[in-house]
Structure 1
Amino acid sequence: MVGQQALLLVGFLLPGLLFSEAAKILTLSLVGGSHFLLMNRVTQILQDHVHNVTMLLQSGNLFLPGFKEEEKSYKVINWFLPEDFNKEFKKSFHFIMEETFKGRSTFDHLLIVLEHLGLQCSDLLRRNDIMNSLKNENFDLVIVETFDYCPFLVAEKLGKPFVSILPSTFGTVDFGPPSPLSYVPVFYSLLTDHMDFWGRVKNFLMFFDFSMKQWQIFSIYDNVIKEHFPEGSRPVLSHLLKKAELWFINSDFAFEFARPLLPNTVYVGGLMAKPVKPVPQEFENFITRFGDSGFVLVALGSTVNIIQSQEILKEMNAAFARLPQGVIWKCKPSHWPKDIQLAANVKIVDWLPQNDLLGHPRIRLFVTHGGVNSVMEAIQHGVPVVGIPLFGDQPENLLRVEAKKFGVSIQLTQIRAETLALKMKQVIEDKRYKSAAVAASIIRASHPLTPAQRLVGWIDHILQTGGAAHLKPHAFQQPWHEQYLLDVFLFLLVVPLGTAWLCGKLLGLGARWLCGARKLKKA
């Protein structure tokens, strides 16, 4: 078995090893938080595998309080937004986070964020110094990330082939894969792949809602396209999605529901995985205090530190106080309310080594917001989860966690000390959650190729073959009425109806002729 895997690995990577020249690759990171962390990792992996990689980085909105940035071996081109843009964006983002903590997050809030990103995109495309510099580099390939659609427009403006990375759950955007509604849940339907009749009805109706929302998102960039692309050669965003040479999905079937894929779609969930290092001594000293009871890790993402609701902090702190475990909580100490006494078993920190703590032998539970990167790290280390979804794809991610039975979730508006404590004790004490988490970890780890090897191998493949035309179905070039066989259905409908009508006419003529002949005989 080991020999077969080694042969498979060599067979897949050999073309990349034979690729004689390092390619010049541009990656774009125009959104902060976990989006930046993912693109930073992708860029570093490609740089480490002999390619010459440059990142265009929007430096103003990283949203990573306490982030300890490592030295980069790749080249960075920094793009700074005008200060008024930056202030307006941060003001809107603060408002949306406040609404989220009050349980009032809506799709319109996402549109507000994307409208700001559209304005930022216009500013970037207007920057001749940056755009001309990128053109002069003559990159072989561009790698874009799918949240902000500006990177697609940058790649199109440069006239270069591009690869797209989907940072979130499969289905957040429609880029052409087959999606049978009978068992592939529409994004935000909160359905699993096991649907009863009413579930399929809901999924069918949600498809139209999803299509309308995607159209609203795409239309935000209409003015950007009109301003920066000449009439007659203006791209259509929905077409640009299908123009991507490859789609890398930041997920894994240990987490996702099984579904059909196109040949140019590759799962690379787990790219963020790194070898576990010993945790800093301050954390080890704290963990040791609780002996075999172990500890709980609490980290609610890169943006939650921006806004901290006193009421929620109070309830969570009270819930943690009911646990026999220690609790290491990523929560801004400088913003901790003075009137709330921190529980004796809780340690709050600005920053923590999440991967290393998840890999610690005494961890018992991970309390997370349900971002894909965090869930994939929990799967990697076989750690069960209690999820508190905030916004975006997080409710869908935690639905999958519950469906795979390695965790439970609780809504932000339902957080009370007793309820949260019960949820945590349930997952810690019922060993079935831990067993399911370990089973998911085995599935993810047993691939013959690591996520990084898949990323590099496929990128080398399209660099050598001049693109991925051989991996894309002809359906991408077909008009919609051909793709859905409407012309065939029309033909099959018209032929029998036309034949029946013709036969009826002929029978009518025959009947009239016989009647006329009989009358002549009688006469």
Structure 2
Amino acid sequence: KPTTPTALLTGVSLICLLCGSYCGKILVYPVDGSHWVNMKVLIVELHSKGHSITVIRGSNSWHIKEESPYYNSITVEIGKYDFEFLTTFASDLLQMRRHGRFFWNQFIIGEDIFETFSKFHEEICNMTAIMFENETLMNFIQDAKYDVVLTDPAFGGGVLLAHRFGLPLVFNVRWTVLGEGHFAIAPSPLSYVPVPGAELTDKMTFFQRVINFLLYFITLYKQSKHFGQHYISFCQKYFGPDVDYFSLFQNADIWLMRNDFTFEFPRPTMPNVVYMGGFQCKPSKPLPIHLEEFVQSSGENGVVIMSLGTLFGELPGDISEEIAAAFSELPQKVIWRYIGPQPASLGNNTLLVDWMPQNDLLGHPKTKAFVAHGGTNGVQEAIYHGVPILGLPLLFDQPDNLSRMKAKGTAKLVDIATLDKTVFLEALQEVLYNPSYRNNMQRLSMLHRDQPMKPLDRAVFWIEFVMRNRGAPHLRTQSFRMSWISYHSVDVILTLLGAMLFTCWLAFLVIKYLYYILFQKKVKLE
């Protein structure tokens, strides 16, 4: 029987209705900078699934655009710390790091980082307070009836907003306000779980375990002092004294963790931690014509690419000269993302670019090595494409990321404090000509790819799962709601120990009494 136009139209309508049945409304409170690169990947994918997305941004946002085909935006007028401020700050820290990794120098760098990021946390709290005080905006968000808040907990604004509206909460996370995400939600035995910043592995000597133990408590104290106070004050003002701000973080429904165990060392985890390491990675696309011609001109020698991320597009002049001179002695061609003045020692084999399609270059068969600062995105893309790394760790989490790659035999590290032409060239030649680096990285790439579901698909599934089920309380642990004494069963151990001592004491009294009765009876009989 032929299909009538009415029946066909009805069928198409039903299909469209079914396809859109799980489409919802997502409120996104992102973190700017390189973190936005990760969040935007999720936003684009969620948009392609038919979800409606609203992004909250500050008026001083560096990379988060007000207009986008993928989302609507809410712009909050605030901000005195712009991108130029952060790049200047990073440049100052870089100059300090060049003076060597002495204890006092490292201590000063750490203090400067904590104090500066404390200002950013304060600004996030101020931005969120402006939103809370804007009754029109609050009513608008309430009336929009969002299904979930998606946020990066490196700053706490999204967490506070989710609590304000009682919405399910999903994290796009590696860092929280108080450090690496696992330490906030999962058991983290310091005997084999290295503290971020320690640059240790899961195989520690006694002395390394002492360092790991001390660094954990020092870092926890500093983070609470510099970051936590802003959120404590905010919660007391808007939620009352009974609301513990860190419990709000721990109460998130799903933690989409931006790493996996090809990068991280094995460690305890939780049911609501979902690993999506490398979710932003994808097969390479054809290069622009001018880059493809340059790459092909390298012949059998191949190419080396270098990028130090957004904050370090320009290095101090003397360092740039040393690196350029080392590159000039390579038979390989070099593509270097660099925005400073052209080094005088630049060789004919080196191409300077303002921007490069990093993922596409890493996926090119002629790429032999990646000179990188150790940002999470770059490291994950290198793992995905199997390209060994010459690491130039600079600041923040970069040294720790690269130390993990070194431990896995996929990277060689150069300290900027000792970098010169000879040191840099010898390290780069080792990465290029020692096959173990490439073999180890390609093994990591194989392990990363050998999984039943793509990381991005897994992330989107769990976001939609939370939307469909209005949260995931059945996956949340009760451990963080327990006191330290209850969590470690100190009360139980003391009770059982007391019961055992009481029993022993009672048994002693009974034995003593029986002995006394028997002894006294024997004396009387004699």
Range of TM-score over shorter length: 0.7 to 0.9
Which residue of structure 2 lines up, in the alignment, with residue 186 of structure 1?
195
Q: 1:241 to 1:320 in 2, by over 3 A?
A: same
Residue 201 of structure 1, CA deviation: 3.7
Residue 476 of structure 1, CA deviation: 3.5
Separation in 2, partners of 1:266, 1:53 = 22
Q: 1:286 to 1:274 in 2, by over 3 A?
A: same
Q: 1:63 to 1:72 in 2, by over 3 A?
A: closer
Which residue of structure 2 lines up, in the alignment, with residue 47 of structure 1?
47
Separation in 2, partners of 1:411, 1:79 = 41
Q: 1:168 to 1:281 in 2, by over 3 A?
A: farther
Q: Residues 168 and 251 of structure 1 are in contact (CA less than 8 Å); yes or no, is this contact kept in structure 2?
A: no
Q: Residues 96 and 109 of structure 1 are in contact (CA less than 8 Å); yes or no, is this contact kept in structure 2?
A: no
Separation in 1, partners of 2:224, 2:525 = 72
Aligned-residue identity in percent: 32
Task: For residue 102 of structure 1, give the secondary structure of its aligned residue in structure 2.
Answer: helix
Residue 90 of structure 1, CA deviation: 4.6
Q: Residues 168 and 249 of structure 1 are in contact (CA less than 8 Å); yes or no, is this contact kept in structure 2?
A: no
> Whose RCO is larger (CA < 8 A, sep 6+)?
1
Separation in 2, partners of 1:215, 1:123 = 18
Which residue of structure 2 lines up, in the alignment, with residue 203 of structure 1?
212
Which residue of structure 2 lines up, in the alignment, with residue 10 of structure 1?
none
Residue 495 of structure 1, CA deviation: 1.4
Q: 1:312 aligns with which of 316, 319, 324?
A: 319
Separation in 1, partners of 2:195, 2:180 = 7
Partner deviation per Cα, 1:300-336 (whole Å, 9 max, x = no partner): 011113x53122212211221221111111110xx31
Does 1:98 find its partner at 2:92?
A: yes
Does 1:146 find its partner at 2:153?
A: yes
Residue 268 of structure 1, CA deviation: 0.6
Separation in 2, partners of 1:371, 1:520 = 90
Task: For residue 247 of structure 1, give the secondary structure of its aligned residue in structure 2.
Answer: strand
Task: For residue 412 of structure 1, give the secondary structure of its aligned residue in structure 2.
Answer: coil
Q: 2:111 aligns with which of 105, 108, 113?
A: 108
Q: 1:363 aligns with which of 360, 364, 367?
A: 367
Q: 1:442 to 1:216 in 2, by over 3 A?
A: same
Does 1:175 find its partner at 2:213?
A: no
Which residue of structure 2 lines up, in the alignment, with residue 489 of structure 1?
493
Task: For residue 25 of structure 1, give the secondary structure of its aligned residue in structure 2.
Answer: strand
Please give the TM-score of this superposition, normalised by the length of structure 2: 0.86
Task: For residue 185 of structure 2, give the secondary structure of its aligned residue in structure 1.
Answer: coil
Task: For residue 207 of structure 1, give the secondary structure of its aligned residue in structure 2.
Answer: helix
**AA at the equivalent of 1:286:** F
Residue 371 of structure 1, CA deviation: 0.8
Q: 1:361 to 1:163 in 2, by over 3 A?
A: same
Q: 1:297 aligns with which of 285, 305, 308?
A: 305
Task: For residue 183 of structure 2, give the secondary structure of its aligned residue in structure 1.
Answer: coil
Task: For residue 164 of structure 1, give the secondary structure of its aligned residue in structure 2.
Answer: strand
Q: 1:20 to 1:409 in 2, by over 3 A?
A: same
Which residue of structure 2 lines up, in the alignment, with residue 122 of structure 1?
125
The more displaced of 501-510 and 240-249 is 501-510
Q: 1:19 to 1:185 in 2, by over 3 A?
A: farther
Residue 41 of structure 1, CA deviation: 1.0
Which residue of structure 2 lines up, in the alignment, with residue 384 of structure 1?
388
Task: For residue 413 of structure 1, give the secondary structure of its aligned residue in structure 2.
Answer: coil
Q: Residues 263 and 471 of structure 1 are in contact (CA less than 8 Å); yes or no, is this contact kept in structure 2?
A: yes
Quote the RMSD (CA, aligned, Å): 2.9
The more displaced of 182-191 and 512-521 is 512-521
Where does structure 1 lack aligned partners over 5 or more consecutive residues?
1-16
Does 1:323 find its partner at 2:317?
A: no
Does 1:349 find its partner at 2:343?
A: no
Separation in 2, partners of 1:93, 1:424 = 27
The more displaced of 243-252 and 507-516 is 507-516
Residue 254 of structure 1, CA deviation: 1.8
Which residue of structure 2 lines up, in the alignment, with residue 32 of structure 1?
32
Q: 1:131 to 1:319 in 2, by over 3 A?
A: farther
Which residue of structure 1 lines up, in the alignment, with residue 11 of structure 2?
none
Residue 224 of structure 1, CA deviation: 4.4
Which residue of structure 2 lines up, in the alignment, with residue 161 of structure 1?
168
Please give the TM-score of this superposition, normalised by the length of structure 1: 0.86
Q: 1:69 to 1:398 in 2, by over 3 A?
A: farther
Separation in 1, partners of 2:326, 2:181 = 33
Residue 291 of structure 1, CA deviation: 1.6
Task: For residue 251 of structure 1, give the secondary structure of its aligned residue in structure 2.
Answer: coil
Task: For residue 285 of structure 2, give the secondary structure of its aligned residue in structure 1.
Answer: coil
Task: For residue 143 of structure 1, give the secondary structure of its aligned residue in structure 2.
Answer: strand
**AA at the equivalent of 1:310:** G
Separation in 1, partners of 2:68, 2:160 = 29
Q: How many residues align?
A: 495
Residue 58 of structure 1, CA deviation: 3.0
Separation in 2, partners of 1:131, 1:322 = 61
Task: For residue 417 of structure 2, give the secondary structure of its aligned residue in structure 1.
Answer: helix
Which residue of structure 2 lines up, in the alignment, with residue 3 of structure 1?
none
